[in-house]
Structure 1
């Protein structure tokens, strides 16, 4: 019999699952979790080794993320899941993109919600996501359906993080070439378009803060992420409050 995880941490710290740590966003979020005094431990799920060693970190390499039933017992006992796995729609038809973006996300989300009563789920989606599921943009419709169905799952809370431009964290390995190429523009972009620009560090901190203290927004744009990150920094990641 599988013993259900408790509904919240007893020691004021959180245990977190991170997906997508071999990509830019997941790597950055993982980095913030490892730095955070509020995070007790992290389970990183990936299809290949992530190449990171840290006392807080447990790595779960599983090649087929469309079916995690064989390893699901390793996914219980966690307070939050930061879902950062994603792919570009370039070169994909709608069926292919849906299989990755919707199929894997909902499979893992359904699994962790069942195993972890009281879990907070943070999903990295994208600015421009179409919650009506009827627009012209294929990727936006698929992301919208993913968001809509995630919000139906029995999580304690679920947040849809919709970044626009993400400024990479210096020193990390997996920054996309596009972001590296325009990083020099960041100060101007942040000043001129604060609603559409966020740092990867702020994104990670915002997820931790939303888990610890909640957020007034279910769908969080870049400005909302910045506010959560500012609160996180100001409070120095205080105790978990359920």
Structure 2
């Protein structure tokens, strides 16, 4: 092996991913953004993992926007990872709520049963005793189910927020786009946006026709009718 070949081989082997610092033997190194030199080389899997962890689609150095596709994790995997998260977006107070659920659920059913027996017994003695006990039973059951609904809703929103911030990221384009390709991509995005705007305009035009037919707008040959608040404002 000559000296030039050894230097070339050494320089090639020294290049590595800027995240895991491994070379391109196990996975091909790509240049997906505007970063140059050793900072521009990265593994696609490392980049996808980094974008998923930091919940972004841009390079932290050159601010280049990557073309990515985000997908939610499978339900068992997302729930298990959320359960093991120890942070702001992890489960908050689940242990305490579980203990309250175990303690309050039997008490609620036992109280409901005893109140039902009491209502049956007191209804023979008088109207107000049985009615008051029935109202108390309904209030206890309503309070329990209200607490149960609020607790489940809180933890569900926490889990959904975690899922939104920890989606699986798939890199669609593994090399940076040229200027022509970027212009073409922007042109396609503008055409899609114009199509959506025209569709919304047509929909609003249809609603406007309906409002005109229902006489919700002013006719050109009639005087506008103001409400009481507008009349007092003019005065």
By the TM > 0.5 criterion, same fold? no
Using the size of structure 1 for normalisation, the TM-score is: 0.20
**Which is richer in helix?**
2
**Larger-gyration structure (1/2):** 2
